């Protein structure tokens, strides 16, 4: 009854079509939500760190200036992935045509400042540091006996120099390739640890005579050592590394989002839902039904929300009921990032742990002492 | 009475039957050396060619009618059982390996490890040193000795049955001599050998008297050091020692024999310790990547791949210089030391053995210093290295059992302290 009343009021107050229906969340404290636009289809959304600019892709790539309310179409086709630079000055987008991808970088006015092509299809783009833009690309080639797939990270530095980090290559049986036709690239997903030394990625495994599986793997970029974290459904589920890099949020496609310890694989906490957004800088989690810090619910979200945080976690874009909203004003913890010698030593300790030269427990003790 | 008469007739006819069965073979092989040897042996008139070789001439031509120990065992079962329970017949395959991939392989070789119609080998033990050799070298240099596992002819020769052949210590010398195990030379130039030269058998002890008393084919009785170098379990060693002491007591007081064998035991352990020291030096160099060339940069070991191999499967080819020194130390000098001691030979024990072991250990240490210096890792083998490398070395030492869990944890803790400072 309350819900019905809410909708009725919302409709009467706004006097608009459903496009401007406010996001049904309690407006407590400083928490606010802005209704931004109606979108034609669900695609990637990215909010700049300061919340002044937002971009989304449905049938086209659109830039939205929140200060002026102006919208500008940057690219007339849908793109696969989007992200903002940490300082919020540049927007990166990747579009695909026939297993070839194109990276386009725009400034805050929407002017294209860089463009580069590369092989493969991208499912995620991240800009963890000002001098590091990363795309995870999957290339594939079909043969009579199966499809050869190759997953790699493509990296651009501040001078737009491009380099690659191969993660895996494997051949999958024809029946699996046929079943996943057109969606094969979605089997590959990745995340970078906050210390930028480890990658969590998903890898398809489907040799002949074996059931197709999709593994979640932790990969140390320096040692190339890997640890298998779990198994996910072929097209659903993802993993994101937590702030301290010792746990992982995993959605398993079965309405469960778990926080697991990376080394013991014990479940630390569990939420309901299939998709989520996580910001390692602020340690905030947004599920399909709520915004959380740790296990504390900061705000409920209407069921079915698709969310994305800005860098630093101050802003949360929400796609709900084909509308795009921007939520802000919730408390965001500010913890200084680990830098300098401490960061280097931590990376070294993690390298030793990845090679099993020290035990996870020894690493934790050393980390604790180092950060005291 | 009637049955006794029939039996007697059959007995008298038996040699004739053998001769008749030989008939077809002798049509062609009448003048062969084999035939002449058989005619002068105890088997003459008793056995036909087909009794041992079978009647499938095509198989004989293909080399598939090998007369293995089982053929002889049909009549000499006790000897076969004794042989099989000894080191001569226990499936060591010390000089063998599968020749399937050899070009120009001799199919006869297969019969040493595979029974007819069976693709599974009798033993899966293979010798890396054999596998590395050419077909010809393998046949002459390896198989001529190591065929003993499945070939009575290895000692008895093919067609003769003259016991004098196998009662002379010379029959053992074919294999038990040379730089790797000079038992024959050590015995020959010992007091025992001198007595044998002067007085002959049975007045003096020879190989057979101590190792094959009363004609037993179990040559391992009384031995307390198995070929792998690993000591016997204490009770088993004590039992075997009693066996040997009983043999010594034929000429010596028990206390004297006990004392001498105990000294030889001590020499063996002292020598092993020196060999272990050298092995550790080389493993440490490998751990640090200082061997030249490293195992990862050489032709692969046929059984272990890119691994450093310093045990019984060690090769003498495609290895580094320091490993060559170790091979000589372990395989030649150490073996001379303790085999000389057990055979009561002072020179083999000391100058050919002990002195060489220690001189080679000096060489190994000097070469190790040179390699460390060249690799920029002179000084303390653990703290002198980078901490990550040091942890890697510690882990390998722990995995090899050189460090127990507590020692390993403590040493790791010290390195982590260094990292955190």
Q: What is the pLDDT of residue A149?
A: 94
Of A196-200, B32-36, B185-189, B248-252, the range with the lowest mean pLDDT is B32-36
Determine whether the interchain pair B388/A356 forms a contact, defined as Cβ–Cβ distance below 8 Å. Answer: no
Looking at the predicted structure, is the pLDDT value of residue B229 above 60? Answer: no
Of residues B149 and B103, the one with the higher pLDDT is B149
Asked if A358 is an interface residue toward chain B (Cβ–Cβ < 8 A), one would say yes
**First CA to last CA across chain A, in angstroms?**
53
pLDDT for position B2: 53
Residue B266 has pLDDT above 90, yes or no: yes
Per-residue pLDDT, A19: 47
Least confident of A94-103, A164-173, B117-126, B384-393: B117-126
pLDDT at B105: 55
pLDDT grade for A83, boundaries at 50, 70 and 90? very high
Cis peptide before B202 (omega within 30 of 0): yes
Kindly state whether residue B403 falls inside one of the protein's structural domains. yes
pLDDT value of position B4 = 54
Q: Is residue B168 one of the residues assigned to a domain? A: no
Q: Give the residue on B whose Cα is nearest the Cα of A371.
A: B420
Q: Which chain B positions have a beta carbon within 8 Å of A358's beta carbon?
A: 391, 412, 416
Residue ranges of B 334-393 with Cβ closer than 8 A to chain A:
388, 391-392
Using the predicted structure, report yes or no on whether residue A202 has a pLDDT greater than 70. Answer: yes
What is the SS3 assignment for A170? strand
B412 touches chain A (CB under 8 A): yes
User: What is the CB-side half-sphere exposure of residue A185 using CA atoms within 13 A?
Assistant: 21
Instruction: Work out the pLDDT band at A208, boundaries 50, 70, 90.
Output: confident
Q: Of the given ranges (B33-47, B373-387, B403-417), which has the lowest mean pLDDT? A: B373-387
**Hey, which residues does A96 pair with through a beta bridge?**
A101
Q: Which residue of A has its CA nearest to B395?
A: A357
Rounded distance, CA A109 to CA A7, Å?
36
Nearest-neighbour CA in chain B from A370: distance (Å): 7
Domain boundary among B135, B163, B191: B163
Would you say residue B130 lies in a domain? yes
**Residue B16, pLDDT above cutoff 60:** no
Q: Is residue B282 part of a domain?
A: no
Distance CA B378, CA B361 (A): 18
Q: Report whether pLDDT(B10) > 50.
A: no
A365 min Cα distance to partner chain B (Å): 10
- Residue A348 contacts B, CB cutoff 8 Å: yes
Q: pLDDT band at residue A205, thresholds of 50, 70 and 90?
A: very high
Q: Which one of B108, B142, B163 terminates a domain?
A: B163
B114 pLDDT higher than 80: no
What was the pLDDT predicted at B382?
39
Considering only CB atoms, which chain B residues are within 8 Å of A362?
Answer: 412-413, 416
Q: Smallest CA–CA separation between B416 and chain A, in Å?
A: 7
pLDDT reported for residue A17 = 43
Looking at per-residue pLDDT, the higher value among A12 and B266 belongs to B266
In chain B, what residues touch A370 (CB-CB under 8 Å)?
Answer: 420
Decide if B420 and A369 are in contact by the 8 Å CB cutoff. yes
CB-based contact, A217 to chain B, within 8 Å: no
Q: Is A20 on the interface with B (CB under 8 A)?
A: no
Q: What's the rounded Cα separation, in Å, for the pair B27 and B22?
A: 9
Average pLDDT along chain A? 90
Domain limits at B29? 13-163
Best of A225, A356, A357 to substitute, by most chain B Cβ atoms within 10 angstroms, is: A357
State whether A366 and B412 contact (CB < 8 Å): no
A366 closest CB neighbour out of B392, B395, B416: B416
Q: Would you state the pLDDT for residue B286?
A: 93
| Structural domain includes residue B400 | yes
| Residue B13 confidence (pLDDT) above 70 | no
Higher pLDDT, B117 or B343: B343
- Residue A295's Cβ-side half-sphere holds a number of Cα atoms within 13 Å equal to 5
* Interval A32-59: pLDDT, tens: 999 998 888 889 999 999 999 999 999 8
Q: Is the pLDDT of residue A27 over 50?
A: yes
Q: What is the pLDDT of residue B40?
A: 85
CA distance A51 to A88: 8
In-domain check, residue B148: yes
pLDDT at residue B107, as a whole number: 60
Torsion sign (Cα): B118, B124, B125, B127: positive
Question: What's the mean per-residue pLDDT of chain B?
Answer: 84
CB–CB of B342/B264 below 8 Å?
A: yes
pLDDT tens per residue, range A349-364: 999 999 999 999 999 9
pLDDT over 60 at A134, yes or no: yes
Which range is least confidently modeled, A328-342, B78-92, B299-313, B370-384?
B370-384
CB contacts < 8 A (A, B): 26
- Residue A31's Cβ-count burial label (10 Å; 0-12, 13-18, 19+) is middle
Task: Decide if pLDDT at A299 tops 50.
Answer: yes
Best mutation target among B396, B418, B420, B421 (most A Cβ atoms within 10 Å) is B420
In-domain check, residue B194: no
Q: For chain A, what percent of residues have pLDDT higher than 90?
A: 78
What is residue A101's predicted lDDT score, i.e. its pLDDT?
95
Q: ipTM, 2 decimals?
A: 0.79
Residue B111 in any domain: the answer is: yes
Contact at CB, A358 and B416, closer than 8 angstroms: yes
In chain A, the residue whose alpha carbon lies closest to the alpha carbon of B415 is A358
**Chain segment B307-317, per-residue pLDDT in tens:** 999 988 899 99
Q: Which residue has the higher pLDDT, A3 or B129?
A: B129
What would you measure as the largest C-alpha separation in chain A, in angstroms? 66
Question: Mapped to the 3 state alphabet, what secondary structure does A291-319 carry?
Answer: EEECCEEEEECCCCCEEEECCCCCCEEEE
Q: Which pLDDT does position B390 carry in this prediction?
A: 87
Instruction: Summarize the confidence of residues B299-320 as an average pLDDT.
Output: 89
Give the model's pLDDT for residue A298: 93
Chosen domain end from B111, B129, B163: B163
Task: From residue A112, give the alpha-carbon distance in Å to each of A43, A106, A115, A117.
Answer: 21, 4, 8, 14
C-alpha–C-alpha distance, residues B372 and B389, integer Å: 14
Query: Which residue in chain A has the smallest CA separation from B393?
Result: A357
* pLDDT at B104 (0 to 100): 57
> How many domains would you assign to chain B?
2
């Amino acid at each position: 009854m309350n819900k019905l009343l809410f909708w009725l009021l919302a409709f009467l107050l706004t006097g608009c079509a459903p496009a401007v229906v406010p996001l049904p969340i309690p407006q407590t404290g400083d928490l606010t939500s802005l209704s931004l636009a109606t979108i034609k289809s669900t695609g990637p959304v990215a909010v700049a760190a300061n919340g002044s600019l937002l971009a989304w892709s449905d049938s086209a790539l659109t830039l939205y200036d929140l200060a002026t309310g102006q919208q500008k179409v940057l690219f007339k086709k849908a793109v696969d992935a989007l992200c903002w630079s940490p300082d919020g000055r540049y927007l990166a987008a990747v579009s695909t045509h026939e297993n070839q991808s194109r990276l386009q970088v725009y400034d805050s006015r929407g002017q294209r400042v860089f463009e580069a092509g590369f092989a493969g299809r991208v499912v995620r783009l991240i800009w963890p540091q000002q001098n590091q833009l990363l795309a995870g690309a999957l290339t594939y080639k079909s043969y009579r006996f199966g499809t050869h797939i190759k997953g790699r990270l493509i990296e651009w530095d501040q001078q737009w120099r491009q380099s690659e980090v191969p993660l895996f290559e494997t051949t999958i049986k024809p029946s699996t390739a046929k079943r996943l036709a057109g969606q094969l690239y979605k089997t590959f997903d990745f995340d970078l640890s906050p210390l930028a030394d480890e990658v969590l990625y998903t890898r398809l495994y489907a040799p002949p005579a074996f059931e197709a599986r999709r593994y979640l793997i932790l990969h140390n970029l320096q040692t190339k050592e890997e640890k298998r974290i779990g198994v996910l459904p072929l097209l659903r589920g993802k993993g994101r590394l937590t702030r301290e890099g010792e746990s992982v949020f995993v959605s398993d496609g079965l309405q469960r989002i778990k926080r697991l310890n990376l080394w013991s694989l014990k479940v630390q906490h569990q939420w309901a839902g299939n998709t989520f957004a996580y910001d390692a800088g602020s340690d905030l989690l947004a599920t399909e039904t709520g915004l959380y810090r740790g296990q504390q619910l900061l705000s409920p979200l209407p069921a079915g929300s698709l969310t994305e945080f800005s860098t630093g976690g101050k802003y949360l874009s929400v796609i709900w009921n084909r509308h795009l909203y921007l939520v802000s004003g919730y408390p965001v913890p500010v913890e200084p990032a680990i830098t300098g010698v401490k960061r280097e030593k931590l990376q070294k300790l993690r390298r030793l742990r990845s090679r099993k030269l020290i035990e996870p427990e020894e690493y934790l003790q050393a980390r604790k002492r180092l950060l005291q | 009475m009637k049955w006794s008469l029939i039996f007697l007739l059959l007995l008298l006819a038996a040699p004739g039957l053998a001769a008749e069965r030989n008939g077809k073979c002798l049509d062609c092989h009448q003048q062969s050396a084999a035939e002449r040897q058989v005619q002068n042996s105890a088997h003459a008139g008793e056995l036909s060619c087909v009794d041992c070789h079978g009647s499938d001439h095509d198989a004989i031509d293909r080399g598939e009618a090998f007369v293995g120990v089982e053929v002889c065992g049909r009549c000499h079962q006790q000897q076969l059982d004794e042989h099989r329970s000894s080191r001569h017949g226990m499936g060591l395959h010390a000089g063998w390996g599968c020749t399937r991939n050899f070009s120009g392989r001799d199919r006869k070789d297969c019969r040493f490890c595979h029974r007819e119609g069976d693709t599974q080998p009798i033993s899966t033990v293979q010798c890396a040193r054999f596998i590395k050799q050419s077909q010809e070298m393998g046949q002459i240099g390896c198989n001529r000795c190591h065929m003993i596992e499945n070939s009575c002819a290895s000692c008895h020769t093919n067609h003769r049955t003259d016991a004098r052949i196998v009662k002379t210590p010379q029959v053992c010398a074919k294999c038990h001599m040379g730089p790797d195990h000079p038992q024959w030379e050590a015995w020959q130039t010992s007091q025992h050998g001198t007595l044998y030269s002067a007085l002959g058998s049975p007045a003096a002890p020879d190989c057979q008297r101590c190792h094959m008393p009363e004609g037993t084919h179990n040559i391992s009785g009384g031995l307390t050091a198995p070929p792998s170098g690993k000591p016997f379990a204490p009770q088993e060693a004590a039992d075997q020692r009693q066996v040997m002491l009983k043999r010594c007591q034929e000429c010596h007081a028990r206390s004297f024999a006990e004392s001498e064998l105990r000294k030889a035991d001590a020499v063996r352990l002292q020598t092993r310790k020196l060999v272990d020291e050298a092995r550790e030096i080389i493993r440490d160099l490998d751990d640090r990547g200082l061997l030249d060339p490293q195992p990862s940069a050489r032709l692969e070991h046929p059984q272990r791949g890119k691994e450093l191999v310093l045990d019984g499967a060690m090769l003498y080819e495609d290895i580094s210089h320091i490993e060559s020194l170790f091979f000589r130390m372990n395989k030649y000098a150490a073996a001379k030391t303790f085999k000389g001691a057990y055979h009561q030979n002072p020179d083999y024990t000391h100058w050919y053995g002990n002195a060489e072991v220690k001189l080679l250990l000096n060489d190994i240490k000097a070469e190790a210093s040179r390699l460390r210096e060249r690799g920029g890792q002179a000084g303390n083998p653990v703290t002198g290295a980078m901490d990550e490398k040091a942890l890697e070395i510690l882990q390998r030492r722990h995995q090899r059992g050189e460090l127990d869990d507590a020692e390993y944890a403590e040493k790791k803790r010290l390195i982590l302290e260094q990292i955190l400072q």
